[in-house]
Amino acid sequence: MIQNAQPKANPDQMARRSAIFFAVLLAFAFLLMPWRNATSGPNTGMGLLRIGTEYGAFSLLIFLVPLAALAGFAAGFSQRIAPHSPTFFQIAARVGGAAGLIYVAVAMIYGLQTTGSVGGMLSVQGMGIWVTLFTAAGLIGLTYNPNVTFIIVWIGVSFFFVQGIRREMTLFPLWSSIAFPMLTISPFLVLSIKMPRAAQIALLVLVVCVLLPMVGIEDTFYLELIIQISIFAAMAIGLNIVIGFAGLLDLGYIAFFAVGAYLWGMFTSTAADTVFKTSNALASPDAFWLFLLLGVIAAGITGVLLGLPVLRLRGDYLAIVTLGFGEIIRILVSNLSNISSNPIRRVNLTNGAQGLPGIAHPILPQGLYDLVKSIAAAIGVPLNTQSSVEAVTLQLFFYFLVLTVGGIAVIIAARLDNSPIGRAWTAIREDEVAAVAMGVPRVRMKLLAFAMGASFAGAMGVIFAAKQSFVSPESFSFIQSIFILVIVIVGGMGSIRGVLLGAVVVTLLNLQVLKNFSLLINSLKNLDWVVPIINFPIRNWPSQLEPARYERLVFGVLLIVMMIYRPEGISPAKRRRMEMQEAADQTLEEAAAEGAPRPGMDKIE
């Protein structure tokens, strides 16, 4: 990242960005009101009309933040893009900006008239302090970098959006699946927008370590979501080493996850009387850290064991064999409940299809519980019962643990990519024969890729088992492998940032958005809502077609569409982007005549 306080912004780009920004703001203007109304009574209000009520004041506050941004952008445009003839985006930006200003002005007048004072407005919902902070930050950022302002405003708006919606609201599922993704995506906006390194790190830490956990403490569903995202992100980083770096398609990746999960599960579950014939758990919860390491090692060894026999295989065969391997592991764990011919000497390793219950989690120091309790009280969500304090603390612990391990995985993967090993992987991926001819140790490098990829999954498996306190073969089915593959493909094979983005997008799609659609349809059914224009009464929507139950369909379509239109992923790796530009320079005929690979996609066989 270039250290540059005043980046040379491309006028077009800036205009486009702010046009989108204003569009989002305007959308909010109409979205804001109904949520607050829903808490107090039937959902009848239109945004502008209800602005004078107490709840309306809340939405007004949020518009103080955009106001700051608006001023900044207006200033920016007048200097930077005046010489050019207006483009579509410039016009859109100005119209949008003007509309936003008028809206905010009207809202302010109404708000002042009804609540009487600015101070009274600011104290609504205790949000005032946050709004002021964000506004101040936005103004400060504005003076030296409009990009920082933009991102601060984005984070602020989405954070308040998430905070402002309540489960009682009729349209909660809809708002929630807009608001929470906006917040979780913001780290990637931070990374993709040019700004000083220090600001970048500060904003990342703010979102990932402060805002997201805060939201999570208030609503444990979000906490669960961010843990799941982090787990899948870390696993996708591992799979990315195998597929993206070394070009080996692994369709049974979840097997390594299972190895880690069952390793911890077998030794601490209350159900498995293991090989050593004791009725108690074999390992104490204190051994968690040791087992985290063991999980890494065991999964790595499994990766080598899988790698050894399949090294000679070509790409598509390799895919099928790894798929078979994944299924073998799944069948094994669902059948290892009895491995003795003598019924009396029954040896139960995995408890079969019922799964292992009561898996231990590491014991945390008492201080941690107290800390979480006081933090929760400070942000206005007092945790009343001991059990809820324990649950939230434990979840937060796992969140930060996964973040740490995932962060280590990211660093390792990034360092590997730029190392001689990473270059050897690239060489093997691009052309195995040529790579071997140039002296790349093929066997060692492929095994290393398998082992590295597997070990991340192993670590995550141990953490997953401890977090869930229950594992069963169902968690390790083929669709889970495909799920991680979808993450890597959607994000962009070979690109670490892309894979992380893919983890956020795909996990949210699977665990939040689809579920929310089901909830939304149900709540609209209760309201007896009729789709306007087509006049379709929503209660006629068949209950069999619940979006949450059709994740395969969504993934299937996602895979096909990505492969056809953007095989390099949302956020492709630099090398692939370069190849794409290279390919664009060639004429199409030349490319066809040479049988060149598709733009942006490496030869991976």
Partner 1 sequence: MPALQRAGNWINLYILKPIGQILVFVVVSAAIMSALALLLGAVLNTPWHGIDLLKTRKGIDLFNQVVKQLPDMLLDGISIGFVYAVIALGYTMVYGVLRFINFAHSEIFMVGGVIGFEVMTRLGEANALSTMPPLFVILLMILMAMAFCGILAVVIERIAYKPLRGAPKLVPLISAIGVSFLLTDVVRAVQALSRNVFNMPYPLDRVGNPPRIFDLISFDPITQLSKGQQFLNPPFLQTRIPLVGNLTTNMTTVIIIVSAIIMVVGLNYFVNATKLGKGIRAVSQDQTTAALMGINVNQMITLTFLIGGALGGAAGVLFGLKVANITPYIGFFPGLKAFTAAVLGGIGNITGALLGGILLGLLEAFFSALLPFFPALGTGYSDIFAFSVLILVLLFRPTGLLGKKEDEKV
Which residues bind to partner 1, rule: CB under 8 A?
A: 249, 251, 309-310, 312-317, 319-321, 323-325, 327-328, 331-332, 334-335, 338-343, 352, 433-434, 478-479, 482, 485, 489, 542, 544-545, 550, 552-553, 555-560, 563-564, 567, 592, 595, 597-598, 601-605
* Beta carbon of residue 126, minimum distance to partner 1 (angstroms, whole number): 45
3-state secondary structure of 531: strand
Question: In the bound complex, what is the minimum distance in angstroms from residue 580's beta carbon to partner 1?
Answer: 13
Which of 18, 96, 32 is CA-nearest to residue 63? 32
Min dist CB 437 to partner 1, Å, is: 9
Residue number, 49 or 353, with CB nearest to partner 1: 353
The least distance separating partner 1 from the CB of residue 485, rounded to whole angstroms, comes to 7
Rounded-to-integer distance, Cα 382 and Cα 368, Å: 16
Nearest residue to 30 (alpha-carbon basis) of 47, 50, 44, 42 = 47
Nearest residue (CB) to partner 1, 206 versus 485: 485
> Which residue, 223 or 319, has its beta carbon nearer to partner 1?
319
| Tokens at 535, concatenated | 């006049």
Site of tokens 């077609």: 545
Contact 306, 254 (CB under 8 A): no
Q: How far is the CB of 556 from partner 1 (least distance, A)?
A: 3
Minimum distance, C-beta of residue 316 to partner 1, in the bound complex (Å): 5
Shortest distance (Å) from residue 188 CB to partner 1: 23
From the CA atom positions of the chain, what is the Rg in Å? 27
115, two tokens: 């609540």
Whichever of 69 and 499 has its CB closer to partner 1, that residue is 499
Residue 38 vs residues 34, 181, 221, 338, 343: alpha-carbon distances, Å: 6, 22, 21, 56, 62
Complex with partner 1: residue 339 or 377, whichever CB lies closer? 339
Angle between helices 386-417 and 420-430 (to 10 degrees): 70
H/E element, 281: none
Kindly state the helix (H) or strand (E) to which residue 424 belongs, with its residue range. helix 420-430
* Closer of 418 and 544 to partner 1 (Cβ): 544
| Alpha carbons 593 and 605: distance in angstroms, whole number | 21
Identity of the residue, 46 or 308, whose beta carbon is nearer to partner 1 in the bound complex: 308
What does the alpha-carbon distance between residue 30 and residue 46 come to, in Å, rounded to a whole number? 7
CB of 317 to partner 1, least distance (A): 6
Shortest CB 153 distance to partner 1, Å: 37
Instruction: Kindly give, in sequence order, each residue whose CB lies less than 8 Å from that of residue 562, ignoring residues fewer than 6 positions away.
Output: 489, 490, 569
Taking alpha carbons only, the member of 481, 476, 498 closest to residue 489 is 498
**Closer to partner 1 at the Cβ: 363 or 557?**
557
Q: Is the CB of 191 or the CB of 604 nearer to partner 1?
A: 604
Q: Quick one: 495 exposed, middle or buried, by C-beta within 10 A (0-12, 13-18, 19+)? A: buried
Q: Minimum distance from CB of 190 to partner 1 (Å)?
A: 30
Residue 494's SS3 state is coil
H-assigned helices in 269-365: 288-310, 315-335
Instruction: State which residue, 128 or 597, has the beta carbon closest to partner 1.
Output: 597
Name which of 462 and 493 has its Cβ closer to partner 1.
Answer: 493
To the nearest whole angstrom, how small is the minimum distance from the Cβ of residue 479 to partner 1?
A: 8
Give CA angle at 558 (158, 412), nearest 5°.
70
> What's the CA gap between 131 and 107, in Å, rounded?
16
CA neighbor of 324 nearest in space, from 262, 258, 260, 255: 255
Spatial distance between the Cα atoms of 291 and 299, rounded to a whole number of angstroms: 12
Residue partners of 244: CB distance under 8 A and separation at least 6: 488, 493, 494, 495, 499, 573
Contact in structure between 228 and 180 (CB atoms under 8 Å): no
Cα separation, 45 vs 449, whole angstroms: 58
SS3 sequence, 282-303? CCCHHHHHHHHHHHHHHHHHHH
CB of 453 to partner 1, least distance (A): 16
CA 369 to chain centre: 27
- Find the shortest distance in angstroms from Cβ 592 to partner 1: 8
